[in-house]
Amino acid sequence: MQSNPTRGADNIMDNESRARVLIEALPYFKKFAGKVVVIKYGGHAMVDQQLKEQFALDIILMKHVGIFPVIVHGGGPQISQTMERMGIKATFIEGQRVTDAETMNVVEMVLVGTVNKQIVGLINQHGGRAVGLSGRDGDLIQAEQMKLYRYSGKDRPTEIIDIGRVGKVRRVNTGVLTALDDRDFIPVIAPVGVGPDGQAYNINADLVAGAVAGELKAEKLILLTDVPGFMAVPEDAEKGAEPVLVPSMNREEARRVIENGTATGGMIPKLKSCIKALDQGAAKAHIVDGRKEHAILLELFTDSGVGTEIVS
């Protein structure tokens, strides 16, 4: 009789491990069935081919267990690369891309015409049913111009900085998204909004994701990024100590680290996105390391979770 190596002791242990994973995930399947989860897709997870494949499979699994995933994607590096090839100089002020009419054309071309279609195609290729959208579609993301304000000194008026067609979310037309959910489609949203004048606006994808999660009263907002989560030096740490992961904070603590300068750079719009979502009725928000394999599933379906959670 021929032996079957797949029936050995090692394989039995593997099967037992798989069974434990499924048992651990079962209550979360029940808890999140019928709920909305908004995912901001960006960073290394959009570049590494293996992570891209895993992301598509994670989204499809979520849909199959009854979750309504809504994806908002970024694309800043792709925009910068395209502008460089076209000989257009990119200018940033306080982390925001100055967006004149020419730059806005590139933003729409890259985000809506290329990146969005690639993500939709990847999900559909793996058996999902994704539909690509921009904020123009059905007036999905209604926007208004964002202005930056710079302190000019005591007894001097605050300086208003015009950064062009950079927008902030005024309203989300959730009817477009619920209609897609009713037909069992997965929305994939490019962060381009439409103003009252019909003009397109470039909007930070984190902020769009937060607004969408708030309007949909999402069970979770998950922001994929290229860091383990929110990192900070503990208050009682010795001088020169390295920052460590903060696994959980409430929204008031999140506001405080923005105001006191502990949060810097790209972490600021992420925290603001989480705060906005919670303020508008989302249950919980997470900043998660998208470089981890199956980071979304680890956050949703395991007891320990990953990254930093922000709660009400």
CB 179, CB 148: distance < 8 Å: no
* Secondary structure in 3-state letters for 122-158: HHHHCCCCEEEEECCHHHCEEEEEEEEEECCCCCCCC
Q: Percent of the chain, pLDDT > 70?
A: 95
Q: What is the pLDDT of residues 197-242, one digit of tens each?
A: 999 999 999 999 999 999 999 999 999 999 999 999 887 777 778 8
DSSP state of 99: B
- Helix and strand numbers (H, E) in the chain are 10, 16
Question: Which two structure tokens, joined as six digits, stand for 244?
Answer: 């460590």
Question: Phi and psi for 57 in degrees, rounded to 5?
Answer: -65, -40
Q: What is the pLDDT of residues 19-73, one digit of tens each?
A: 887 888 899 999 999 999 999 999 888 988 999 999 999 999 999 999 999 999 9
Domains of the chain, CATH where assigned: 34-311 (3.40.1160.10)
pTM given for the model:
0.89
Among the residue ranges 3-12, 32-41, 52-61, 300-309, the one predicted with the least confidence is 3-12
Give the bridge partners for 93, in sequence order.
96
> CA 102, 108, 114 angle in degrees (round to 5)?
125
Q: What is the pLDDT of residues 239-289, one digit of tens each?
A: 778 889 999 999 999 999 999 989 988 899 899 999 999 999 999 999 999
The C-alpha atoms of residue 13 and residue 5 are separated, in whole angstroms, by 13
